[in-house]
Amino acid sequence: MSCGWRRDRAMAPVAALIALIWRPWPAATVRGMHGTPIRVEVNGGIATAEHLRHLALAGYGHFTAMQVRDARTRGLDLHVRRLDAATREVFGTGLDADRIRGHIRHALAGTGDASVRVIVFWPEADAAPAIMVTVRPPGEMPAGPLSLQPVPYQRPVPHIKHAADFAQTYYRRLAAADGFDDALLSGPGGVISEGGITNIAFFDGTTLTWPDAPCLAGITMQLLEPRLPGSGLPAGRGPVRLADLPSFTAALVTNSRGIAPVGRIGTTTLPGCPALMQALSEIYESIPRDPI
């Protein structure tokens, strides 16, 4: 079945620390909740019980997540700008870019490939916001096609990547219990905003549409969007509702781990478009990684 488009016709773990919160440890490898090795540092040094206790009990902060390969990551400047902008909005002060990069490098400690999360919070006893860096083994996006369960929820203050969101986790767990890979967040009238931990885009055989409802501007989405016009793939933002799903040929999700096709949303099956996924994957893989 043709999906209507071919590229050649034309010119995207705080919870893991809670079990360890009541004792300090050196900035070294420990074990997370599922036995996954995890290295934790705060401000380039020892992660103390006081730091972790504040973060776990207050839950107020923000973060960014990235995949590091050969000590490089895609969109490093976007990650840094995200952290600085959110810190200014949440805490009223900015973050120095060199400080952010330095703490990431220090936490990697020579590790070339990793999943890295940078969390910003402000302990009461500190004079400035603290930067926590966690380092775990590298991760990849599932090959898909993925299944998503629509849920009646939109993240508050969605342009900030919150350190804690109970409802987001609640609905993702419900979706998993019902046999879905993730949740699809929607608002009044079935307006689609984003996936549980992804951005989502829809393809009607001609145009790729990112929902224009309030959502987090993911780094992978930000990297793909400006490169799509040059690929000959018409793309833009617009309203997408659950009732519109039968009109689409394909859908895909993006996050720091990459891109994956979506094969089912609720009871709606999407035929898919391998040519589209191949083209987007090629665009994504062509984006150079920046040295940290």
Tell me, yes or no, whether 287 and 152 share the same domain. yes
Q: What is the 3-state secondary structure (H, E, C) of the chain?
A: CCCCCCHHHCCCCHHHHHCCCCCCECCCEEECCCCCEEEEEECCECECHHHHHHHHHHCCCEEEEEEEECCEECCHHHHHHHHHHHHHHHHCCCCCHHHHHHHHHHHHCCCCCEEEEEEEECCCCCCCCEEEEEEECCCCCCCCCEEEEEEECCCCCCCCCECCCHHHHHHHHHHHHCCCCEEEEECHHHEEEEECCCEEEEECCCCEEEECCCCCCCHHHHHHHHHCHHHCCCEEEECCEHHHHHHCCEEEEEECCEEEEEEEECCEECCCCHHHHHHHHHHHHHCCCEEC
CATH of the domain at 77: 3.30.470.10
Tell me, yes or no, whether 267 and 206 share the same domain. yes
Of 111, 136, 161, the position where a domain reaches its end is 136
Residue 8: predicted pLDDT = 46
CATH of the domain at 210: 3.20.10.10
Tell me, yes or no, whether 115 and 201 share the same domain. no
Tell me, yes or no, whether 130 and 144 share the same domain. no
Closest to 289 in 3D by CA, of 114, 126, 89: 114
- Return the ∠ at Cα 13 (arms to 67 and 140), rounded to 5°: 30
Tell me, yes or no, whether 160 and 199 share the same domain. yes
Residue 126: predicted pLDDT = 87
Domain contains 223 = yes
Per the structure, the complete domain to which residue 21 belongs is given by 14-136
Alpha carbon distance, N-terminus to C-terminus of the chain: 44
Tell me, yes or no, whether 19 and 44 share the same domain. yes
Tell me, yes or no, whether 207 and 88 share the same domain. no
Residue that has been written with the tokens 């006081």 in this structure: 50
Residue 37: predicted pLDDT = 59
Tell me, yes or no, whether 224 and 104 share the same domain. no
Of 86, 112, 136, the position where a domain reaches its end is 136
Closest to 242 in 3D by CA, of 171, 183, 178: 183
Residue 20: predicted pLDDT = 34
Segments of the chain scoring below 70 in pLDDT? 1-37
Residue 6: predicted pLDDT = 52
Domain contains 224 = yes
Residues in the chain: 292
Tell me, yes or no, whether 165 and 287 share the same domain. yes
Of 101, 136, 171, the position where a domain reaches its end is 136
Tell me, yes or no, whether 187 and 287 share the same domain. yes
By DSSP bridging, strand 258-265 and strand 146-152 are parallel
Residue 31: predicted pLDDT = 42
Domain contains 93 = yes
Residue 77: predicted pLDDT = 98
Tell whether the torsion through CA atoms of 41, 119, 17 and 181 is positive or negative: negative
Domain contains 1 = no
Tell me, yes or no, whether 119 and 152 share the same domain. no
Domain count of the fold of the chain: 2
